[in-house]
Chain A
Amino acid sequence: MRYDLKLALLSIRRNPVLSVLIIAAIGLGIGVFMILLTAYHLLERNPLPQKSEQVYRVLVDAWDLNGEPSQGVWRSGEPPYMMTYIDAMNLMTSDVPTYHAAMFQSVMYLQPADPHPSIKRPFRVTARVTFSGFFPMFDTPFVYGGGWASASDEGPDPVVVISSETNDRLFGGADSIGNSIDLNGTLFTIVGVMDRWRPTPLFYNFMTLGLGVSPPADVFIPFHFFERMQLGNNGADMGWKRWDPGFENWLQSESTWLQFWAQLDSNEQKAQYLDFLDSYATEQKKVGRFQRPLNNRVYDVMTWIKAVTYPLNGPALVFLILGILYLFVCIINLVGMLLGKFLGRMHEVSVRRALGAPRSAIFRQHLFEVALLGLLGGLLGLGISQLVLTIIRARFDLLETLFSLDGYLLGVALGVSLLAGLVAGLLPAWRACSAAPAIYLSTE
């Protein structure tokens, strides 16, 4: 092994330009492949690894008998992916889940409550309008303070959680708990400053997967301010039944637009909650709603992500296949270069054969060399992909944990580069060891 390593290093040193070209070919192939694999991997990422199997998207089938919810990614036979206001408010009365929260995204205008040295005019912010259960259910990190108490949901109390980016902008990153901000003309007291948080994919939303490019929201306010302030929904809104114009009519409509999540810590709790949903649906049937057969579901985080990201997986898969094809092209080039490199030293191989080296030893020696070249190429490829990913992260202000090479991807990179080197090296190594030594010895 040490002798093979010594010979491999000697061979690299003997032909540095060709060796560098080979390493570069592997490096480029691996680099491009890893960037595309990282992007693909992002879509399969678990954004809530510590409890993704306890947190569920809740779906109830409030659609009409004949139509089908055409919600883009909707798959036949499934309930609509969002929920009506009526159903969401009714489900919020359940005491089965450990935590639960209806939510949606809105747009508000924020203005510092006190004179600010640079912000003179209100600016547009994204607001997540939700319940107190949102924060403990999703384990949101905080720099200062925390989420609001459940009692504040009912008031509702004018409390707000702001993102660290908003806190940086308004308060220069200082502890702003107890300060107030003006949102759409109402003063809200800051109770929590969220730490930099990029759930990726942004699983709790519908279709807006986020991919960690921006904060999930700039501010978070108690849900019931939505009715008081008549906030608009800045997301999808789909229904099967027309309603008369007006805010109140919209609330009472069959339009689905709210996301609903619940934390169910055990199978018993889950079964109990599904019973609750079925009972609720049965009750609704009695009052003329829920015309379809019982079809209530809860999807854990990863099942939900697969359900809503599968249309994105197609293009991502295409890119991944392109990456594999590029790697394949690199391997083909590599075969040519390795053939040139190995056949160029047939004299030495023949001398070794004459001195007693069996074919297997020559084959092993050459495979060892390509494995080493493959690993060096893999390291170069990792460097290239790391550099490109760093540029992408800096360009889009992504968290370091996102769009980065984790242990799995590092393992894949080194494994693939080793495999690519070995695959490319099989034919050249075989040619090198199977040539008749006498020819090269006598012609030298």
Chain B
Amino acid sequence: MLSMSDITKIFRTELVETHALRGFNLEVAEGDFVSISGPSGSGKTTFLNIAGLLETFESGTYEMDGQDVSKLNDRERSHLRNEKIGFIFQSFNLIPDLNLFDNVDVPLRYRGFNGKERKKRIDNALELVGLSTRMKHLPSQLSGGQQQRVAIARALAGEPRFLLADEPTGNLDSEMAGQVLDLITDINRSGTTILMVTHEHDLASRAQRQVHIVDGRVTDVTTAVKPEN
């Protein structure tokens, strides 16, 4: 369902070219939980941005559900991103002056759902992360763990096929990180494909497949035995 083949990404300035990804290959099947780890500057976030259609690439092919995404225009990429992809960021990236309800509402607005449908999805998503009673609160009134749960609710409200998580527990203490990771694991068990970038070995080990990147190339892939549900 997600196939990257020989992807190359170069960042250019007037003085220097940086090869973020060099012949990057990855196949992700429906329902996979893949962790991507590697040292700083290895290309983890670049991979995630390309996977999430936030970045273009120089060469190679990237197919999502059999569709070559390199040929899509901005509107089509945005539509695909909105419909099929959910993002979880390290710094939560909630909009500070929107309350929880309105934050979760953002992707649904661009999806074109009517008010009733949006409300139903927002209620369900916030219920799932245990914050349905706080939907009128602003992000600043929540703890870091709660904010990340809101971000997860926002990512899930559109019922995406893929959840892309960039260091989702990087800003959380260990207890909250555990809760968030449990939530992500549960989401994967319910069928959502998860690609998680992390540099923490413990987190990476939760995934069924651990992909290690160095200098923009996949250097190692470890597949764990799928845990029993």
A residues adjacent to B (C-beta < 8 A): 3, 10, 13-14, 347-348, 351-361, 436-438, 441-442, 444
Contacts and interface: CB of A to CB of B under 8 A. Distances in A.
Contact of B54 (A3, A13, A437): A437
Contacts, number: 68
Interface of B: 45, 49, 52, 54-55, 74-75, 78-79, 81-83, 87, 89, 91, 93-95, 97-98, 106-107, 109-111, 154, 158, 166
Contacts of A347: 93
B109 A354 contact: no
Contacts of B95: 348, 351
Given A351-B106, A438-B49, A356 B82 contact: yes
Given A361-B110, A438-B49, A356 B81 contact: yes
Given A14-B97, A438-B49, A356 B111 contact: yes
A238 to B, nearest CB: 72
A356 B79 contact: yes
A444 B78 contact: no
A442 B45 contact: yes
Contact of A353 (B54, B111, B166): B54
Contacts of B158: 356
A355 B155 CA distance: 8
Given A352-B110, A356-B107, A442-B49, 16 more contacts: A10-B98, A348-B95, A351-B93, A352-B106, A353-B54, A353-B78, A354-B93, A355-B154, A357-B78, A357-B106, A359-B78, A360-B75, A436-B54, A436-B55, A438-B45, A441-B93
A360 B110 CA distance: 11
17 contacts: A3-B109, A351-B94, A351-B95, A354-B93, A355-B81, A355-B110, A356-B78, A356-B82, A356-B110, A357-B82, A357-B110, A358-B79, A359-B75, A436-B55, A437-B54, A441-B93, A442-B45
Contacts of A442: 45, 49, 166
Contacts of A354: 52, 54, 81, 87, 93
Contact of A355 (B45, B75, B106): B106
A408 B32 CA distance: 65
A248 B34 CA distance: 114
A166 B17 CA distance: 87
A357 B109 CA distance: 9
Contacts of B93: 347, 351, 354, 441, 444
A360 B111 CA distance: 14
B78 A358 contact: yes
A358 B110 CA distance: 8
Nearest to A347: B93
A354 to B, nearest CB: 5
B221 to A, nearest CB: 25
Nearest to B46: A438
A358 B74 CA distance: 6
Contacts of B111: 356
A354 B110 CA distance: 11
Nearest to A444: B91
B82 A355 contact: yes
Contacts of A351: 93-95, 106
Contacts of A353: 54, 78
Contacts of A14: 97
B222 to A, nearest CB: 26
A357 B83 CA distance: 11
B18 to A, nearest CB: 14
Nearest to A13: B97
B83 A356 contact: yes
Query: B79, B82, B94 — which one has the most chain A CB atoms within 10 A of its CB?
Result: B82
A348 B75 CA distance: 19
Contacts of A359: 74-75, 78
A438 B55 contact: yes
B97 A10 contact: yes
A253 B55 CA distance: 91
B86 to A, nearest CB: 9
Contacts of B154: 355
A439 B146 CA distance: 25
A355 B55 contact: no
Contacts of B45: 438, 442
B107 A355 contact: yes
A357 B89 CA distance: 17
